[in-house]
Amino acid sequence: MRSLIPYVTSTIGAIWLAGCTAAPLHSLPWIEARTANFTIVGPIPESEARELAGNLELFRSVVSSLTGTSTGPSPIPLRVYALGRAGGRRFFDSNLSGFFIGTMRGNLIALRDQRWASAREILQHEYVHFLLRNSGIHGYPPWYDEGFAEFLSTLERGPNGVDIGRPIRSRTKVLWHGTWIPLGDLMALRSFEGLLDVQIDMFYAQSWALVHYLNLGRKDASTRSELATYLNALRDGASDAEAVESAFGERPSILGRSVIDYVQKGRFRFITVDADRFQQGSPPEMRVLPEAEVARALGRFAYDVGDYETSRGDYSSALAANPKDPRSLVGLANALAALGRWAEADAYYERALAAGPDDAVVHLDIGNSFYFRALTSTDAETRGELASRAREHLVESWKLDDSIPETYARYGSTYLLEGEDPSRGIETLEHAHRLLPASPEIKLSLAELYADLGRLEEAQTLTRIVSTWSHTRLQQEAIQELQRKIDRLGDESAPPDSPGDR
């Protein structure tokens, strides 16, 4: 029985100062700027919120245009917390400018202040990953997956249009002073396991330089078609060296020499494209948030970063202003449950259900609460009853809103519990995967379900994809555990050796 690992991405390390009451922030005037794909909230001026919303929509449109991916609406929301100077001082380490967290429920960006430029490279890097992976483009090896995200991380609106390909000073410094990885080894790398920090830094720097060279350092190159040839060759069983030569017309050693020459010349050119070429959507809808909504927003923020005690306090403040708000009631219940205070949590789950019987999120969170209790139950009968109650609320959530990937994923995951029939979870988990292929949690759950059903090759494929994405210890542990299970099931299903084989 495996505990699902939440997808938390923070390449710079989110630091939350636990135990700080957020009451002063509640009293500040907060605004909300909402576009088709983003919601920006925070105690910032309206003009700056509008600018931030416009820059985000433009970035999304440019990435979609450059990669040929869909510009349709995201299946999960992205919420940006621009916390201003007061929030920045209280919720961030002095060296932290922002961070990105992705879950099945939605993506979250936190900014130390409203200035997108202060954290642009890190946050755009992570959002590129989400956009590409959720468009089904997840077969890239790590060098291109990370190198392309780095390449687009510096994209920005300049005075003459959109600047694409500006150099990254921190990466060029590593390239000038570090020890290069042979290009063949770089392109064959599939995991960071066992690498030193300096090697990982060089991997990112070289991957960025290689992608920059392939896209902007050659004349009359068709990088997109070359890349397709490279990936197809790998899928057909070619070695990395064979795939490189078939796609780019050079052996890895020759291509590597070209990249070194490119870096040594120090002429990283960038291109500027007219911003009017890209769809930028309608101006954001603006409104002032009531104090209760500010407290609720902070409660969800604290919960997502794992500070459940602060989340409890924020939701309590929200309920002091609006005692019958179902989202605040269920949010407080979630925080109490995370703190292990289940008796109190259950009382608030009941109040949330009474206040919001037609709220899909309320039913989803109650379903989650039963699922997580079933996950830790050692009694078969109790576990089955908890799983059944979880599914009742998850079905109700689906009836109220059939667009939430987490609802399908959690329903399918209840059939991964010991004593359940895994075949009954396949339809909903596959649907969740189609809605949100960028989610490692959904991929790993589906991979485990495939393994339980004997579909080991499909399980192996999904596990391999997530292993190239994951850089956190918890995710790597989950992947390794699942890989051991797949290997064990493969050994059990293999035919016994014939006498002639012995």
Question: What does the CA dihedral 352, 354, 356, 358 come to, rounded to 10 degrees?
Answer: 130
Cα separations in angstroms, 391 against 7, 354, 357: 22, 19, 16
Residue 292 resides in a domain: no
The last residue of one of the domains, among 103, 136, 169, is: 136
Comparing CA positions, the residue from 277, 225, 282 lying closest to residue 248 is 225
Six-digit token string for 487: 């290997």
> Do residues 439 and 374 share a domain?
yes
Helix spans in 136-290 (H): 142-153, 169-177, 183-188, 197-216, 223-235, 240-248, 252-265
> Do residues 150 and 85 share a domain?
no
The one-letter code for the residue type at 402 is D
If phi > 0 it is left, if psi is from -120 to 50 it is alpha, else beta; for residue 242 that is alpha
Helix (H) or strand (E) holding 163: strand 161-164
Torsions phi, psi of 427, nearest 5?
A: -65, -45
Comparing CA positions, the residue from 367, 373, 372 lying closest to residue 352 is 367
pLDDT at 5: 32
Residue 322 resides in a domain: no
> Do residues 118 and 238 share a domain?
no
Assign residue 373 the CATH number of its domain.
1.25.40.10
d(CA 401, CA 395): 10
> Do residues 194 and 101 share a domain?
no
Residue 97 resides in a domain: yes
Residue 494 resides in a domain: no
> Do residues 465 and 363 share a domain?
yes
372 within 8 A of 387, measured Cβ to Cβ: no
311 within 8 A of 335, measured Cβ to Cβ: yes
> Do residues 387 and 483 share a domain?
yes
The last residue of one of the domains, among 279, 310, 330, is: 279
Residue 399 resides in a domain: yes
pLDDT at 89: 61
pLDDT (tens place) for every residue of the chain, 502 residues total:
333 333 333 333 333 333 334 445 767 889 999 998 999 999 888 998 998 899 899 999 999 888 877 667 789 999 999 887 666 566 666 667 888 999 999 999 988 765 667 688 888 999 999 988 888 765 688 899 899 999 999 999 989 999 999 999 999 999 999 999 999 999 998 878 778 889 999 999 999 999 999 999 988 778 888 988 998 898 888 998 999 999 999 999 999 999 999 999 988 889 999 998 888 778 999 999 999 999 999 999 999 989 999 999 999 999 999 999 999 999 999 999 999 999 999 999 999 999 999 999 999 999 999 999 999 999 999 999 999 999 999 999 999 999 999 999 999 999 999 999 999 999 999 999 999 999 999 999 999 999 999 999 999 999 988 888 876 777 788 888 999 999 999 888 777 664 545 4
pLDDT at 205: 96
Residue 326 resides in a domain: no
pLDDT at 9: 35
As a whole number of angstroms, the longest Cα–Cα distance in the chain is 80
> Do residues 118 and 143 share a domain?
no
> Do residues 273 and 149 share a domain?
yes
Residue 414 resides in a domain: yes
pLDDT at 106: 93
> Do residues 120 and 166 share a domain?
no
pLDDT at 14: 36
Six-digit token string for 164: 């694409």
Residue position matching structure tokens 């990466």: 171
Residue 477 resides in a domain: yes
Burial class (CB in 10 A: 0-12, 13-18, 19+), 102: buried
> Do residues 5 and 131 share a domain?
yes
Q: How many CB atoms lie within 10 A of CB 196?
A: 9
pLDDT at 353: 98
d(CA 115, CA 252): 41
Question: In the chain, how many domains are there?
Answer: 3
> Do residues 116 and 150 share a domain?
no
The strand order across the sheet containing 78-82 reads: 98-102, 107-111, 78-82, 38-42, 30-34, 285-289
**What's the domain range around 465?**
357-487
> Do residues 195 and 259 share a domain?
yes
Six-digit token string for 447: 């991979």
The last residue of one of the domains, among 217, 248, 279, is: 279
pLDDT at 502: 43
